[in-house]
Amino acid sequence: MMEQYINEEGKPVYKGVTAETQFSSDLFHKPEYQGIDDDENFAFHSELGSLTVVDRMTGFGFRDIETGYRSLDGKFWLASGGNDVRLAGCTTVGEAIIWVKTRANTCLGE
């Protein structure tokens, strides 16, 4: 059974998450620190790693939505170019992680 707790860094984290756990945009929270005023950040932290979504103004003068996945061993995948995993239609957490990895175009598990 999935359960949310606050870790030692003050972040909401879910335990009891598996690749088969039902995925929903409701799992994401809005971190306290949002960066630049019109940026929006969302995060889902679990025992499988972290999924993050950032809607931000790029250094090239246009807005972009990026989804990242950081595994527990520190590897990171980033899918930029309007990729928002919350809206992707994924049904499980495992599917959401694969969705990010297959669309990664900036960071590829390094």
pTM: predicted TM-score of the whole model, two decimal places: 0.90
Map out the domains of the chain as residue ranges: 3-108
Q: Which of 48, 42, 31, 43 is nearest to 92 (CA)?
A: 48
Taking only the tens of pLDDT, the chain with its 110 residues reads 899 999 888 889 999 999 999 999 999 998 876 666 678 899 999 999 999 999 988 878 889 999 999 999 999 999 999 999 999 999 999 999 999 999 999 889 98
